[in-house]
Structure 1
Amino acid sequence: MSDNEWKRRCQNEWNITGISMPDSVDWKFVYEAKPLGRNLLKNPAPHGVTHDSPPPEPELTGVPRDEPPRSEPEGDYTGWTTSVEDLPYDTSGIPPGVVVCYMPQFSWFTLEQKIDLKAEGLWDELLDDQPDILIQDRYEESQLHESIYQLHVKLLGGDGQTVISEHTVSPTEDLSTYSHTWKEVSHVFSGYGKGVRFVHFLHRLKNKYMVEFFPTLVTGSSVIVKPT
């Protein structure tokens, strides 16, 4: 099949109008990559859970384990870059002279990905037409703390460093009721300007260790490009 035929396939399948489709683009690669309308994040559910079911209740034994405190939940983090930030103990409410056997140790667990939009099959002219970029995420309402989730998404230029647009979410949880559901976070980037070639997706989850490990889980993360 000729490159012009691959280009016509792309044009017809995605109903592309008013956007330049130059012959210099490898249209067979674009067609097979199918970059429009699909999730460009790799491994969007690293904890092996889905938002179609309620978050799993932790199976706790109440027995201290003879091992160092954990700070990272179990999961398959293929495709993600991860890091852990242990937070200092909060001793502000402990009176002088009081002996404390166990205190909660909180930590932030960060997962991030940088998406190369051209490597995923998008081309310069389409990206400079500023298609909508849809962001979606779901985190577990673990209620371990009033702040258990943060999201920071950046649209980057061709050097992979210059920030063209960004969106940050840092919600505060209501600890007065226990619902233990998935909370959805979403955002649509539009009209952000020309030059976007990468998307940097980062979210942070707060975990707690006290005798046992208490995680905050995440699932259904997505980055989707849709031409307007």
Structure 2
Amino acid sequence: MSAAEWKKRCEAEWSLHGAPMPDSLDWKSIYDAKPLGRNLLRNPSPHGLSKDTPPPEADLPEVPSRGPPRFQPDGDFTGWTTSTEVLPYDTSGIPEGVVICALPQYSWFSMEQVVDLKAEGLWEELLDEFQPEIVIQDWYEESQVHESIYELHVKLLGADKTTVISEHTVKPTEDLSVYSHTWKEVSHVFSNYGAGVRYVHFLHRLKNNFLNAFFPTLFACSSVIVKPIKTSS
């Protein structure tokens, strides 16, 4: 196929009519990269779980753990940068003189990725002029671990990786009086975000609880998808 034919194929398959498509670009390479409509995050389900299957029930040990406390869940976190923040014990509300046998210890487990939009096959003219929708979606496990168990922080960054062009943060509060143990969806659509976006910084934090056993908050099917749709201003 000629360069013009590859360009026409991209335009037709991704419905890019009216979007800037310079002849100088390698349209075969862009077509092979398939930057539009696919998940640009690497390893979106490190726990091997799917939002289409209920999250596993917690394993309650018959005998309390005698080992050191755990603060990081199991999983293959290839592609993610991870970190753990162990929180201090919360002794508020405990009357003076009360003997404490054990207290839960909480920790945040953070996972982040930076998506290079140009390296994934997107081109500057599309990002700057057409500004296609950038759709963020995540699913976390409803649990009784704590009233605050999940945070999402997403930033659209400029070429220097530090300039924030747009951002979105979610910090839901859980209703501990209701327990259905399902996946909870978190989503956001970036549109009309302005010129200069070259990277997407995706970070979420999930809270874990250790009290005689380790109780993590799990997640599945995280995604960053650029859709060939332009939202009208």
Q: TM-score range by the shorter chain?
A: over 0.9
Q: Secondary structure at the match of 1:115?
A: strand
1:105-163 per-position Cα deviation (integer Å, ceiling 9, x unaligned): 00001011100000000000111121111111111011211100000110111111100
Partner of 2:110: 110
Match of 1:35 in 2: 35
CA distance in 2, matches of 1:42, 1:162: 23
Correspondence 1:87 to 2:73? no
Q: Is the 8 A contact 1:164 1:192 kept in 2?
A: yes
Matches for 1:134-173 after TM superposition, within 5 Å: 134-173=135-174
Aligned to 1:176: 177
Preserved CA contact (<8 Å) 1:62 1:211 = no
Q: Over residues 182-214 of structure 1, what are the superposed CA-to-partner deviations in whole Å (9 max), with x where a residue is unaligned?
A: 111111111111111100111100000010000
In the TM superposition, what is the alpha-carbon distance from 1:96 to its structure 2 partner? Answer: 2.8
Hey, what does 1:198 align to over in structure 2?
199
Matches within 5 A, 1:126-137: 126-128=126-128, 129-137=130-138
In the alignment, which residue of structure 1 is the partner of 2:221? 220
| Per-residue deviation, 1:17 | 1.4
Match for 2:90: what amino acid? D
Letter of the 1:78 counterpart: T
2:71 is equivalent to residue 66 of structure 1: no
Shift of 1:222: 0.8
How much is the aligned-residue C-alpha RMSD, in angstroms?
1.2
Distance in 1 (alpha carbons) for counterparts of 2:54 and 2:16: 39
Q: Within 1, Cα distance between the matches of 2:214 and 2:3?
A: 55
SS in 2 for 1:59: coil
CA distance in 1, matches of 2:144, 2:101: 23
Structure-2 separation of matches of 1:160 and 1:62: 49
Corresponding letter in the other structure for 1:123? W
Q: Distance in 2 between matches of 1:143 and 1:66?
A: 23
> Contact conserved, 1:156 with 1:198, CA < 8 A, in 2?
yes
Q: CA-to-partner distance for each residue in 1:14-36, whole Å, 9 max, x for gaps?
A: 12111221233222211111011
Preserved contact between residue 62 and residue 212 of structure 1 (Cα < 8 Å): no
Distance 1:97 1:62, change over 3 A: farther
List gaps (5 residues or longer) in structure 1.
none
Local SS of the residue matching 2:9 = helix
Q: Aligned partners of 1:97 and 1:16: how far apart in 2?
A: 70
Contact 1:110/1:203 (<8 A) preserved: yes
Secondary structure, aligned partner of 2:5: helix
Q: TM-score, normalised by structure 1?
A: 0.96
Point out where structure 2 has 5 or more consecutive residues left out of the alignment: none
Q: What is the DSSP-based 3-state SS (H/G/I as helix, E as strand, rest coil) of the residue aligned with 2:10?
A: helix
Q: How many residue pairs are counted as aligned between the two chains?
A: 228
**2: distance between equivalents of 1:57 and 1:215?**
11
Identity, % of aligned pairs?
A: 71
Partner of residue 210, structure 1: 211
